[in-house]
Amino acid sequence: MKIGFGVGIVENGYDETAQIEAFNAQDLEAGERRLLKSAREWMARLPFSPIDVLIVEEMGKNISGSGMDTNVIGRPTNPHEPFPADPKILWIVALDLTDESYGNAIGIGNADFTTRRLVDKIDMKPTLINAITACEPGVAKVPATFETDREAVEAALSCIGLTPPERARVVRIKSTLMLGELEVSEAYAAEVARRGDLTVLGEAPLRFDATGRLAS
């Protein structure tokens, strides 16, 4: 087809526009490849691997087209895509679905454990339309569901093998779009101390309220 020009827009790891560049038709493909390289370099990533349990407070369409950014969690939605080398995450716990998703929970199939709170928000019709249109039916599968956050997290910790919970490598994030601050378990303390790119903001236990919901 006839192409006049193209405009490439690249975001940084904070979901902000970092670069805008225009190309004529003959430079479009080469320019796109160059910008894609920058996009991959600037993409936010989890700072640890392996991870025994990743706790994701919320997922949703306004966070990623796949609910949870597959580049962040290392789990491709399409079975024909190869798994990346990192991060290696044993279990993912998804706690809630954003209101902005309007019930579309595509990507829930990439979680291993979830809560009744999230499942009750799922509108399966748009979820399935999205999943089938993308030829990725697995991302609409509902994982093991528990009544509370605490039960879901405890179930994940009970499935990590012989490692006791107090030595488990656990990471908690708000969402795959917000990785600037995160919580990690004590198992990462030595590694954090060696890392010049990480700053310790404080220490706190993983707290749940009386209803079993993870405290903010």
Are 76 and 93 in a shared domain? yes
Dihedral sign (CA 59, 61, 62, 65): positive
Are 28 and 134 in a shared domain? no
Dihedral sign (CA 67, 69, 75, 79): positive
Q: How many residues does the chain have?
A: 216
In this predicted structure, what is the pLDDT of residue 84?
A: 76
In this predicted structure, what is the pLDDT of residue 188?
A: 96
In this predicted structure, what is the pLDDT of residue 76?
A: 79
In this predicted structure, what is the pLDDT of residue 88?
A: 94
The maximal CA–CA distance of the chain, rounded, in angstroms, is 63
SS3 state at 140: helix
In this predicted structure, what is the pLDDT of residue 167?
A: 94
- Reported pTM: 0.89
In this predicted structure, what is the pLDDT of residue 82?
A: 77
The overall average pLDDT reported for the chain is 94
Are 174 and 126 in a shared domain? yes
Are 19 and 117 in a shared domain? no
In this predicted structure, what is the pLDDT of residue 116?
A: 97
Each residue of 196-213: pLDDT tens digit?
A: 999 999 999 999 999 999
Are 111 and 151 in a shared domain? yes
Only one residue has tokens 């490849």, namely: 33
Are 165 and 95 in a shared domain? yes
Q: Rounded to an integer, what distance in angstroms lies between the CA atom of residue 126 and that of residue 131?
A: 8
Q: Rounded to an integer, what distance in angstroms lies between the CA atom of residue 133 and that of residue 143?
A: 21
In this predicted structure, what is the pLDDT of residue 81?
A: 76
Are 105 and 190 in a shared domain? yes
Are 9 and 63 in a shared domain? no
- Written as six digits, the tokens of 126 are 């748009």
Write out residues in the chain with pLDDT < 50, as ranges.
Answer: none
